């Protein structure tokens, strides 16, 4: 199947009588449970529900679940462990946007304002194939970032755990105070001086100040964006199937799909074309 631009969309229409499970992060992006919990709607469709509790190993639960379809109701930070299990088991994956950050769902073309409708994909979904990235073997769906933004994410998480007010504003202020605006990275042997280095699973649209959205998730490429400064970012791009990034220190503070991580340098990043089988509701993201 081709879109208006002549691109192959890798879309398969299927009928399925399969068992599904959806993992629900009921506190995704918030200190309080969400009022629009998808558990009831999922159960009404015959989908088994597992509401995550503190200490649950999401990757292990998804890897061991007795189901033919794996789903995740949460934000960007919750998706990758279940997606990784789906790839490992060659099962389809359902993304239910249920967090404060739903960039992956938005780039898929899903309606993030109507997350309960995404559950229909368990019953009458359309299958697509999309790419995933890996950094030092860890799967990511959106991007891996280093530098000022990664420092902000680590600060935000620290303050969130201490339940301080205005954590995001404090994180930014502390990052600017403590973090050098430019650091020296080495990308495939080439020195890069940047305040932010971001490696994306497929290409983002760019404006003068920020990254936008991804129009495609199946072009099989990594794109490294490096930026200097903070208020007026000037982006440079590098495209590749594989990348090696040497950071100024190891381990290095990173943000993987917007979540804090410590990664050993050098970082080895790869893309796995069309590795993830995504189910979306008919009429969404096709």
Mean pLDDT of the chain: 83
Q: Are strands 190-194 and 242-246 parallel, antiparallel or unpaired?
A: unpaired
Specify the 3-state DSSP secondary structure of 22. Answer: strand
Residues 116 and 209 in one domain: no
Whether 104 contacts 232, CB under 8 Å: no
Task: Tell me the per-residue pLDDT of 239-286, one tens digit each, with 9 for 90 and over.
Answer: 999 999 999 999 999 999 989 999 999 999 999 999 999 999 987 755
Q: Report the domain count for the chain.
A: 2
According to DSSP, residue 257 is labeled T
Residues 164 and 110 in one domain: no
| Separation between Cα atoms, residue 234 and residue 252, nearest integer Å | 23
pLDDT over 70, % of the chain: 74
Residues 145 and 123 in one domain: no
Give the residue from 283, 241, 28, 269 showing the smallest Cα distance to 139: 269
Residue 187 pLDDT > 80: yes
Residues 103 and 191 in one domain: no
Neighbours of 117 (CB within 10 A): 15
Residues 117 and 223 in one domain: no
Name the residue range of residue 120's domain: 11-130+275-281
Calculate mean pLDDT across residues 61-86.
97
Residue 205 pLDDT > 70: yes
| Separation between Cα atoms, residue 59 and residue 81, nearest integer Å | 5
Residue 168 pLDDT > 60: no
Residue 184 CA, distance from chain mean position? 26
Say what the pTM is.
0.82
Residues 147 and 253 in one domain: yes
Helices 167-178 and 148-161 pack at an angle, to 10 degrees, of 130
Specify the 3-state DSSP secondary structure of 3. Answer: coil
Residues 144 and 126 in one domain: no
pLDDT over 90, % of the chain: 63
CATH classification at residue 178: 2.60.200.40
Residues 56 and 160 in one domain: no
Position 9 scores a pLDDT of 58
| Separation between Cα atoms, residue 142 and residue 76, nearest integer Å | 8
Whether 213 contacts 203, CB under 8 Å: no
Residues 92 and 180 in one domain: no
Specify the 3-state DSSP secondary structure of 116. Answer: helix
Which helix (H) or strand (E) covers residue 69, if one does?
strand 69-74
Specify the 3-state DSSP secondary structure of 156. Answer: helix
Calculate mean pLDDT across residues 182-211.
87
- Token pair 């509790």 is found at 53
Residue 227 pLDDT > 50: yes
Residue 232 pLDDT > 80: no
Whether 118 contacts 278, CB under 8 Å: no
Neighbours of 28 (CB within 10 A): 22
Residues 245 and 226 in one domain: yes
CATH classification at residue 34: 3.40.50.10330
- Alpha-helix runs per DSSP H in the chain: 39-44, 58-64, 76-89, 103-108, 121-124, 148-161, 167-178
């Amino acid at each position: 199947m081709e879109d208006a631009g002549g691109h192959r969309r890798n879309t398969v229409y299927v009928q399925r009588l399969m068992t599904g499970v959806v993992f629900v992060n009921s506190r995704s992006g918030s200190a309080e449970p969400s009022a629009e919990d998808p558990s009831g709607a999922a159960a009404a469709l015959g989908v088994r529900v597992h509401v995550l509790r503190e200490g649950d190993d999401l990757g292990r639960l998804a890897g061991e679940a007795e189901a033919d379809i794996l789903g995740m109701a949460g934000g960007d930070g919750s998706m990758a462990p279940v997606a990784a299990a789906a790839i490992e088991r060659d099962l389809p994956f359902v993304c239910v946007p249920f967090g404060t950050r739903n960039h992956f769902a938005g780039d898929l073309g899903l309606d993030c304002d109507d997350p309960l409708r995404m559950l229909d994909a368990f019953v009458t979904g359309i299958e697509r194939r999309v790419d995933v990235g890996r950094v030092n073997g860890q799967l990511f769906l959106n991007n891996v970032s280093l530098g000022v933004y990664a420092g902000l994410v680590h600060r935000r998480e620290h303050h969130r755990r201490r339940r301080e007010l205005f954590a995001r504003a404090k994180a930014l202020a502390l990052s600017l105070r403590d973090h050098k605006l430019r650091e020296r990275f080495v990308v495939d042997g080439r020195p890069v001086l940047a305040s932010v280095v971001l490696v994306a699973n497929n290409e983002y649209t760019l404006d003068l100040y920020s990254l936008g959205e991804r129009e495609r998730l199946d072009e099989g490429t990594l794109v490294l964006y490096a930026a200097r400064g903070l208020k007026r970012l000037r982006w440079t791009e590098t495209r590749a199937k594989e990348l090696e990034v040497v950071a100024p220190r190891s381990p290095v503070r990173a943000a993987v799909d917007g979540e804090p991580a410590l990664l050993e340098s050098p970082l080895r990043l790869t893309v796995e074309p069309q590795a993830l089988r995504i189910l979306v509701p008919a009429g969404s993201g096709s």
